[in-house]
Amino acid sequence: MTQNRIYLSEPHSSGKELRYIEEAIRKNWISSGVGVSDFEDDIQRFLTTKKWVCATNSGTSALHLGLLLLGVQSGDEVLCQTFTFSATVNPIRYIGAIPVFVDSERATWNMCPKALELAIQSRCSLGKKPKAILVVDSYGMPFQADAIRAIATKYEIPILEDSAEAFGSQYKKQPCGTLGDIGVFSFNGNKIITTSSGGALVVASKELRDRAFYLATQAKDAAPYYLHSELGYNYAMSAISAAIGRGQLEVMEERLAARRSHCLFYEKAFAAVDGISVFKEPNADFFSNYWLTVIQIDKEKTNGLTPELFRSFMEKQGIETRLLWKPMHQQPLFCNYPYYGGQVAATLFENGLCLPSSSSLNQEAKNSIQSCISQLLKDYDCIAS
């Protein structure tokens, strides 16, 4: 097979980026923080939200700013979904705050409301009321927003929504990124749309938006000279990145349709297989962008085919797949922080695999993926007759 390598999730140019880049250069919008408001307006329009948007140079920096806006300080505790990428947790540590990890639930793979409430009660009984709840829309699937919101309201703890992977997803017709008190997107190269590197913060008021931008541009106070009373950061998005983002946003609906159609393609590919299931929206309240299509493999039913055997077989054919998030509470870096829950996240990691999901995945690529999968399933005698 002489086919180019097939990636898990690669950038996909719309061809409309150059026009915006040329405009930015013509206007001399070269400094970071200048000329990005059009992109912020585009995002706000796409989300059809009254909330405010502050573009940043990454999703990670947006998460860091989000924690700061919620008043998280060194030594504070932050409840954090364990089933996620490390970039969710790292900003908690940048501040010197303490992550308290919470397990997932089976329907969305995101934060379990029951484990969350137990964690809150336990931390409060130790006199350490958590400062924030950091939930994730993993693989584009919205978290259990109503149930988590009810707990957040009951205990008066704000929600920071890491929607890095879920731009375009919705819960009960509400866009992900607007479900928490503060939301975060990533426009890194592997996400559904990209600004090469970038992110955004979604906040409830102009005051919060202005404060985010102030912190993101070195916290300069109003004075004719450089005056600083607070610690600042260099986190603003550049207009060149914003220009790429504007060109990408123009085709967002097509990108969404493509990722969602890939999920259906894989569902068909595994339809006749007892023991492999595609991760799907639990019910009509959930609308996922299916940033990545993910499967669970029950190795009792697949004659020993494990996610790692699946991955290495595909890798030999030049097709990239990836194991799921190894839970944060099981990472060498984070394993000494408190954890509340059972084995849900750990089991997802053990049994799951992410499949190629780029919006640029064409029919030819799908045909190679299909034939590799068919071969593998035949080798393991997994197809139901």
Ligand X SMILES: *Cc1c(COP(=O)(O)O)cnc(C)c1O
Residue ranges in contact with ligand X by CB under 6 A: 58-60, 84-85, 87-88, 136, 162, 164-165, 186, 188, 199
- DSSP string covering 217-260: BT---SSSS---SS---B-BPBHHHHHHHHHHHTTHHHHHHHHH
Q: How far is the CB of 216 from ligand X (least distance, A)?
A: 14
Nearest residue (beta carbon) to ligand X:
59
Q: How far is the CB of 374 from ligand X (least distance, A)?
A: 30
d(CA 104, CA 349): 11
Q: How far is the CB of 193 from ligand X (least distance, A)?
A: 12
Q: How far is the CB of 59 from ligand X (least distance, A)?
A: 3
For residue 272, give both structure tokens.
């006749």
d(CA 154, CA 205): 23
Q: How far is the CB of 307 from ligand X (least distance, A)?
A: 19
**Smaller CB separation from ligand X, 90 or 370:** 90
d(CA 346, CA 334): 15
Length of the chain: 385
For residue 56, give both structure tokens.
């940043």
**Smaller CB separation from ligand X, 84 or 351:** 84
The side-by-side arrangement of strands in the sheet containing 174-175 is 174-175, 170-171, 286-287
For residue 250, give both structure tokens.
């123009």
Residue written as token pair 């944060």? 328
Amino acid identity of 164?
Answer: A
Amino acid identity of 309?
Answer: L
For residue 366, give both structure tokens.
């799908």
Q: How far is the CB of 87 from ligand X (least distance, A)?
A: 4
**Smaller CB separation from ligand X, 188 or 351:** 188
Q: How far is the CB of 7 from ligand X (least distance, A)?
A: 15
Angstrom CA distances, 129 to 10, 196, 260, 300, 335, stand at 41, 38, 40, 42, 21
Angle at 293 between CA 287 and CA 297, to 5 degrees: 120
**Smaller CB separation from ligand X, 58 or 178:** 58
Q: How far is the CB of 55 from ligand X (least distance, A)?
A: 12
- Cβ within 8 Å of residue 272, ≥6 positions away: 383, 384
Q: Are 176 and 185 in contact (CB under 8 A)?
A: no
